[in-house]
Amino acid sequence: MEYKAGIGYDIHRLVEGRKLFLGGVEIPYAKGLLGHSDGDAAMHALCDALLGALALGDIGEHFPDTDPQYKGAAGSLLLKKVKTLVDKSGYRINNIDIVVIAQEPGLSPFKKQMKENICGLLDITQDRVNIKAKTNEGLGPVGNKEAIATYALVSLVKGG
């Protein structure tokens, strides 16, 4: 296979008393995402997309939420671990496209830093990563500000 593609999806509930992390950026907001780890839905969806492209299962298999070492784990740490699997695969990242869906807070001011974080962690140039931020038009749990969701798509190309 010359190319491999993978898709990832994640959603976390917004609750009081947690910091909000998305794409490795701490975003000022009254609530944060609930989870065993830091709840960074953007990083988790990206990890799942990479694991999918590698045919290596999903984030829950690699980082079980019953494992105390991942309690409060930063999304960036999980992404770094997944990167080692990419490095071993004989494939490299061709491109990444991420859609973060949050009714609140507005994420546009943070897209640039998310992109920089992801490029830095994966050691790829910025022309390979795109981040979109959108609302859910007030619909459903994301639109009701009860949760934040993310879709991620990656493609890998053969050649380390």
* Binding footprint of Zn ion on the chain (CB under 5 A): 10, 44
The nearer residue to Zn ion, 62 or 92, going by C-beta atoms, is: 62
Buried-state track 47-80, b at ≥16 Cβ within 10 A, e below 16: bbbbbbbbeeeebeebbeeeeeebeebebbbbbe
Q: In Å, how far from its chain's centre is CA 13?
A: 15
The tokens for 123 are 């050691």
The nearer residue to Zn ion, 72 or 90, going by C-beta atoms, is: 72
Q: Minimum distance from CB of 148 to Zn ion (Å)? A: 10
Q: Minimum distance from CB of 100 to Zn ion (Å)? A: 13
The nearer residue to Zn ion, 31 or 44, going by C-beta atoms, is: 44
Q: Minimum distance from CB of 41 to Zn ion (Å)? A: 5
Element (H, E) at 3: strand 3-16
Q: Which residue is nearest to Zn ion (CB)?
A: 44
The nearer residue to Zn ion, 42 or 86, going by C-beta atoms, is: 42
Q: Give the whole-angstrom CA distance, residue 69 versus residue 59.
A: 14
Q: Minimum distance from CB of 44 to Zn ion (Å)? A: 3
